[in-house]
Amino acid sequence: MSGGDRILRLHPASGQSVDSGESSVEVMAGLVQAMLDAAPIQGAWVMPIRDQAGVILDFEVLAASPEARDIHNRTGKELVGLRTLEAYPGIAGSALWDAYLRVMETGEVEDVDPYVHREDGDDVPQPSTYGVHLARLQGGLLTSWVRHDRHDREERLSARLLHTERLGHLGWGHWSLITGEAEWSDQLYVIHGRDPAEGPFALEHYREIAHPDDVPVVEHALTTLTSTGGPHEFEIRIRVRDEYRHIRATAEVSRDAGGRPVEIHGVVQDVTDWRRTADELAEVTQRLEEESQLTARLQSIILPVQDAVPGLQIGVRYFPAETAPLGGDWYQAIHLDNEEALLAVGDVAGHGLAAASAMAKLRHAITGLAFADHDPAQILVALNRLLRRMRPDVLATSVVARYRTKDRTLRWTHAGHPPMLLVRGHKVHRLLHPGVLLGVFEDVTYSCAEIRLEPDDLLLMFTDGLIERPGRDLFEGLDILSAAIAETVPQVPPQDRVAAVMEALAPSNTGDDTCILVARILPNSLEVS
């Protein structure tokens, strides 16, 4: 734009028919301004600026309504004097600019709606949508406009709804009960795998696409809705292309003033993924439940109720770990057929079925070897070989003893196991005869120790869960255990001591399983507990 005086370059007449002076333009501007001041519109009167050849270069605002607001939030009189292309470069070359020129040319009123204004600038919303009305007036243009901000909001709302529907696998639909017409949201078509061009289907169509097992649910839902009409929720499987999808629908009927059902509204959610996950979870839960019952049964099979053993009064107790119902600790106390008894306690490292199955192997092997008249040392050598061969992944410890009734002799040995305790009178002794644990080394040997027991002696075998505790030496734990027993024993007569000791002992480490075996030497070897 060249500089110079604005007034000089004004050519107020459109066409060449009228030739008013500058003063008449100013008069007109005053009149139009007065009119705009009274009109509840956003409007401005703009005058073309032409070059010498009469070509329109730009427009200048000569009057503006008080309510007029431009894209930069200038209002009313602030707009006067602004040139269109200078102030709003985005208009250049736009449909609005073409319309400006056309209306100037033809004099026919035009609406440019929507006019989407694009312009660079920090304060300019991108893009902004207007409806603009153009009329030729006294050699200029009367432009009036509305901004479609409200429409933008609606669009945003609608976009948000679309996102919500898509993210939530949600769709909604209306089915008119009067006209039979229906309206679906976009996502409802997606959920049903239906082309929007086909339009919605009638509610009755659900009978055809529902899984055969779910047809009664559809029937019930349709009946409920049309009779009581209250909100009804149902879940069915529908065939979508070549698979069944789970949908959950919530529907209700709206009625007219006379209570007549008018329309059914429904919100439908595709819950297939959720349903699959829930089903899988239920399956896993059931499997765990079954495994838990199985392990409980296994435990009772592996560690049965104690049979009577001649010459000994025996108590056994098994504490499972708090976190695992099935552990690797085991005991055995059994009458061998030659007036001898086998007493043993062992620990297979770990929990669960793997540990339990190794434990069962060991326990049965020990029993078999004891019946084959192996002494404890031979039994452990064989057990070590068995583990190395059959379960190289397993580490185990054990204390194994044979008790001969006729001369009250106990022969025993340890494989990496905490010592036995012997309670004689009111004193507690450790019976330690260490050997290496089972399942680690290929060639190991064990040796037996032997002791003559006295009537009313108590033997205590247990696993490490009874004495181990963080921050404590195992032998400290053993001393604490011994002290507890020494305190308990004098308080009860010999025949009650097994029960009393069992009662007094509780695992120190509840994260591990614990097994306790207490045996009392009966004074009369013919006496059976």
Partner 1 sequence: MSDLPNISAAETTFAAESSGSIGVLTVRGTLDFTTHEPATEFFDKAFAQFGPNLVVNLLELDFLDSRATGLLVTCWKRALDEGGWLALVAVERGAARALWITGLTSHVPVFPTVEDALAAAPSRDQE
In whole angstroms, the minimum distance from the beta carbon of 511 to partner 1 comes to 7
Q: Which stretch binds partner 1 (CB under 8 A): 25-33, 86-94, 370-378, 508-516?
A: 508-516
Q: Is 349 in the site for partner 1 (CB under 8 A)?
A: yes
Question: What amino acid occupies position 450?
Answer: E
- Which of residues 48 and 418 has its CB atom nearest to partner 1 in the complex? 418
332 interacts with partner 1 by CB under 8 A: no
Secondary structure class of 286 (helix, strand, coil): helix
**Which residue in 464, 482, 485, 500 binds partner 1 (CB under 8 A)?**
464
Quote the crossing angle between the two packed helices 352-371 and 272-302, to the nearest 10°.
20
Write down the H helix ranges in 125-271: 149-167, 186-192, 206-209, 215-227
Q: Binder to partner 1 among 136, 416, 421, 482 (CB under 8 A)? A: 416
Question: How many other CB atoms are there within 10 angstroms of residue 473's CB atom?
Answer: 11
Cβ-contact 252, 263 below 8 angstroms: no
Q: Which of 326, 400, 468, 481 binds partner 1 (CB under 8 A)?
A: 468
Q: Which is nearer to partner 1, 368 or 511 (CB)?
A: 511
C-alpha 201/C-alpha 155 separation (Å) is 27
Rank residues 393 and 450 by Cβ distance to partner 1 and give the closer one: 393
Report in angstroms how near the CB of residue 410 gets to partner 1 at its nearest. 20
**Does the footprint of partner 1 cover residue 513 (CB under 8 A)?**
no
Site for partner 1 in 373-412 (CB under 8 A): 395, 397
With binding defined as CB under 8 A, does residue 425 bind partner 1?
no
Which tokens is 20 given?
A: 């008013």
Nearer to partner 1, 12 or 439 (CB): 439
Binding status of residue 74 toward partner 1 by CB under 8 A: no
Q: Pick from 29, 134, 222, 437: which binds partner 1 (CB under 8 A)?
A: 437
Least Cα distance to 71 among 135, 121, 33 occurs for 121
What is the side-by-side order of every strand in the sheet holding 427-431?
312-319, 514-521, 458-462, 420-424, 427-431
The reply to whether 417 sits near partner 1 by the rule CB under 8 A is yes
Distance CA 41, CA 133 (A): 11
Binding of residue 470 to partner 1 (CB under 8 A): yes
- 3-state SS string over 354-411? HHHHHHHHHHHHHHHHHHCCCCHHHHHHHHHHHHHHHCCCCCEEEEEEEEECCCCEEE
Tell whether residue 509 is a contact of partner 1 (CB under 8 A). Answer: yes
Tokens 């696993």 sit at which residue? 463
Nearest approach, Cβ of 420 to partner 1 (angstroms)? 12
Query: Does the protein bind partner 1 through residue 440 (CB under 8 A)?
Result: yes
User: Applying CB under 8 A, which part among 64-72, 207-215, 429-437, 498-506 lies near partner 1?
Assistant: 429-437
Rg for the chain, CA atoms, rounded: 48
- How far is 397 from 418, CA to CA, in rounded Å? 9
237 binds partner 1 (CB under 8 A): no
Residues that bind partner 1 (CB under 8 A): 347, 349-351, 395, 397, 415-419, 434-437, 440-441, 464, 468-475, 509, 511-512
